[in-house]
Amino acid sequence: MKKLIEVALPLDAINAASAREKSIRHGHPSTLHLWWSRKPLATTRAALFASMVDDPSEHPEKFPTEELQNKERERLFDIIKEIVIWENSSDERLFKRAHDEIKNSCGEEIPTVFDPFAGGGSIPLEAQRLGLKTIASDLNPVAVMINKAMIEIPAKFKNLPPVNPDAKSFIDDKNNWRGAQGLAADVKYYGEILKERAFKKIG
């Protein structure tokens, strides 16, 4: 089955979004830890999506002419152009749409993404964002810690409220906490305590 990545990609949009990532500081994984071979998230996201989605030429029953195939490719390109934009990274509806396209091509048995040399975690992170089952590993303990902090631990606490005493007033309203917001609130709260104790101890 020929995939979209084997035929064509909207490279200008992918390249522009990838280059722009270098200037993004707030919330970008590159601010967690410098990694010498980090892949741009926009490129990774686009490559994963295009590797999973069939090229229209594989379905002549739906797209019998070259014109119809090109039209369908442009529709898929439009999705790629949207998902590579950093500001759209948390748009659940957009990524559900992308996941649905993957399901249309792969059926219910969507392949697992396996990255044996995960490094800075771009591939497993973006596979997870696209709703794909992901297995990642690395020999470097720093890389393992980055992947745990960025991918594994936030997924365990997804949509859960924080447990720190300052946030108790919000605990009953579980709908207020989306994604890893609750975990982030706890990390901030307990991180401040550790910072304060460290300053007292080492001056």
| pLDDT tens by residue, the chain, 203 residues | 899 999 999 999 999 999 998 887 777 777 767 777 778 999 999 999 999 999 999 999 999 999 999 999 999 999 999 999 999 998 999 999 999 999 999 988 899 999 999 998 999 999 999 999 999 999 999 999 999 998 999 999 988 888 888 876 555 565 678 888 889 899 999 999 999 999 999 97
Cα–Cα dist 2/110, whole Å:
16
Helices vs. strands in the chain: H and E counts, helices first: 8, 2
Both tokens of 38, joined, read 């980090």
What residues pair up with 54 in beta bridges, in sequence order?
Answer: 3
Nearest to 127 by CA among 151, 103, 145, 146: 151
Q: 159 Cβ partners below 8 Å, 6+ apart?
A: 174, 177, 178, 179, 182
Cα–Cα dist 58/202, whole Å:
65
Structural domain spans, the chain: 4-111, 157-203
- Which pTM was predicted? 0.85
Per residue in 70-98, is it b (16+ CB within 10 Å) or e — as a string?
A: eebbeebbebbbebbbbeebeeeeebeeb
Say if residues 44 and 9 touch (Cβ distance below 8 Å): no
